[in-house]
Amino acid sequence: FEKYSTLQGGFIWDWVDQVILKTDSIGRDYWAYGGDFGEEFTLNDSNFCSNGLVAADRTPNPHFFEVKKVYQPVKFEAENIARGQVKITNQYEFINLDHLDFTWYIAEDGKTVESGKLGKLDLHPRQSTVLSFNLSSVVPRPGAEYFLTIQAKTNRNLPLIQKKHLVAWEQFKLPIGRPTIPQDPNDFPVINIAETDSNVSVIGERFQVSFTKKTGYLSEYIFNNRQIIKSDLIPHFWRAPLDNDLGNLMHTRTASWKNVDKELTLEYFQRSLANNVAKVKVITEHNTTGSRITMTYRIYGNGLIDIQQQLKTGNKRLPELPRFGMKMTLPKDFNRLTWFGRGPHESYWDRKTSAAVKVFSGSVWDQTYPYVRPQETGNKTDVRWMALDNGTIGLLAIGQPTFDGSVHNYPYSDLDYVPAGRLHGKLDLKPKNQVDWLIDYRQTGVGGDNSWGARPHSEYTLTGKSISYEYHFYLRPFVKNDDLMTLSKLKIK
């Protein structure tokens, strides 16, 4: 909405979810929508009334934060970020920026190492200035990432806005860094391969990783005598349909990708051990789409698993992929989450500018946003690493370089669309006896030009026909008091 100087844009409908608080027969509150009031024979638009930026009680919905970010009245642009130069523009039409105080800080892997105050900037409407920040004082550590963040907060109380309210901000990744020194697999404890009629296992000093011969899936990960994975690590290309997805019929158009893990035919299963590295390569075919999925695993003596998944789609006229990734289930006590990526709220390929890159933590349950109707929720983008633990041991996923990830205190399928059903986020999503962990290359964007037919923009769509996708991440176990940031920097020759 900045493209044309003579036009306004960016208008959003609706402001608030138009649903009504109701209580069920056992006293539980929920947001009621079309069909919840006993009018079985009355036409209604289901939950089409719940498309606001804020909930009915005025709690901000996750997309609220993205709107605030793109609406912000101060624009920050990288003029020459290698020299620390940032251009700042007053986007107001009629007022100066003298009601704002500007501050900045530089973070190393999420921790502040430099900071300062800029005070007021005397910028008239539509006026710009270029500021320079001294980057020479930052001494990079091997593998560390550095970000410059600039913030503008009110310096006095204003109508409806209190002093120190964050009005605008931006984060810039700095071109500062030093490579890490790769480790030699021969320096790790020795590993061996053992086989039965049904499984292949890689056995190390404190761990065992097993694969099922029938499917090729990684089926077991034991660390310190504790089973970490409850289910197979499977290819997973489905998304529980958003309201926008239902409006453009994604749930029917892309149904051929929904149950990929159950429809694959194993074509090739190869295992080997050389130079203290166990390698398992699995090639499968998906006849429905004429696609090939290749999964390659390298297991090292420190318990680390290097995982690569590749999809080559067929030449058929295929729909887009809702997502391209993998999914597994962990025991329910792995309910503590930490991640280095965008947050703290959920973010998606086309809705992530409001989520800064930092280190965040919280419970698994709190990553679910209780939308009026259950649907896809809780995704994190640009994740460097993500960890789940139970207070004693945990599992760390490390992007090569990044991934999308989400965790759910219930089967992910609990979010799925039920035709003609009236499910409610406050009633029908409950913690279960598991944690589902989705580690993705990415999802197709969430869209939103409208909610009755428009698809996500093409640049945010995982095209299906005649294309190849590939991504790469590590899994490694850890114990209490391990430094996750340090573990995440490991590179292997």
Residue 64 is assigned to a structural domain of this protein: no
Q: Extract the tokens encoding 107.
A: 């973070």
User: Measured between alpha carbons, how far apart are the two ends of the chain, in Å?
Assistant: 48
What is the predicted pLDDT for the residue at 471? 98
* Residue 151 vs residues 125, 164, 172: alpha-carbon distances, Å: 19, 11, 12
Domain stops at, among 110, 145, 173: 173
Domain boundary among 144, 173, 202: 173
Burial 197-213 (b: 16+ CB within 10 A, else e): eeebbbbbeebbbbbbb
Q: Which residues 6+ apart lie within 8 Å of 429 measured at CB?
A: 368, 370, 374, 410, 414, 415
Q: Per the structure block, which two tokens stand in for 96?
A: 């100066």
Residue 250 tokens read as 């994604």
DSSP state of 366: G
Cβ neighbours for 25, distance < 8 A, ≥ 6 positions apart: none
For residue 346, the SS3 value is: coil
The confidence score (pLDDT) of residue 63 equals 97
Alpha-carbon span 435 to 379, nearest angstrom:
15
Q: How many domains does the chain have?
A: 3
Residues of the chain with pLDDT under 70: 1, 40-41
Q: Using the CB atoms, write b or e for 280-291: b if 16+ within 10 Å.
A: bbbbbbbebbeb
Q: What is the CA radius of gyration of the chain?
A: 25
Same domain, 390 and 480: yes
In a domain, 65, yes or no: no
Q: Tell me if 407 is assigned to some domain.
A: yes
Three-state secondary structure call for residue 83? helix
Output the pTM of the full model.
0.96
CA distance 238 to 254: 8
Give domain status of residue 69, yes or no. Answer: no
Same domain, 111 and 241: no
Between CA 34 and CA 64, with CA 29 as vertex, the angle to 5 degrees is 70
Q: In what order do the strands lie in the sheet with 218-223?
A: 192-195, 199-203, 207-212, 218-223, 226-227
The verdict on 134 and 224 lying in the same domain is no
Residues 38 and 131 in one domain: no
Does residue 466 sit within a domain?
yes
Do 217 and 234 meet the contact criterion of CB atoms below 8 Å apart? yes
Last residue of a domain, one of 10, 28, 59: 59
Element (H, E) at 380: strand 380-389
Contacts of 221 by beta carbon, 8 Å cutoff, 6+ apart: 207, 208, 209, 210, 227, 228, 229, 305, 395, 475, 477
pLDDT given for residue 13 in this prediction = 86
Look at residue 311 in the predicted model and tell me its pLDDT: 98
* Whole-number pLDDT of residue 40: 66
Same domain, 329 and 364: yes
Determine, yes or no, domain membership for 180.
Answer: no
CA distance 427 to 46: 16
213 shares a domain with 251: yes
Domain encompassing residue 52: 1-59
**Cα separation of 445 and 459, whole Å?**
9
In a domain, 278, yes or no: yes
Q: Is 120 inside a domain boundary?
A: yes
The answer on 417 and 283 residing in a single domain is yes
Query: Are 272 and 377 members of one domain?
Result: yes
| Cα–Cα distance for residue pair 102/460, rounded to 1 Å | 33
Do 197 and 152 fall within a single domain?
Answer: no
Torsion, Cα 116 120 121 122, to 10 degrees, reads -160
Hey, what are 492's tokens?
């292997």
SS (H, E, C) 141-166: CECCCEEEEEEEEECCCECCECCCCE
* pLDDT tens profile 103-148: 999 999 999 999 999 999 999 999 999 999 999 899 999 999 999 9
Let me know whether 55 and 123 are in one domain.
no
pLDDT computed for residue 421 by the predictor: 78
CATH number, domain at 425? Answer: 2.70.98.10
3-state secondary structure at position 278: strand
378 with 240: CB under 8 angstroms?
no
Same domain, 384 and 265: yes
Q: Is 404 exposed, middle or buried (0-12, 13-18, 19+ CB in 10 A)?
A: buried
User: Is residue 91 located within the same domain as residue 199?
Assistant: no
**CATH number for 99:** 2.60.40.10
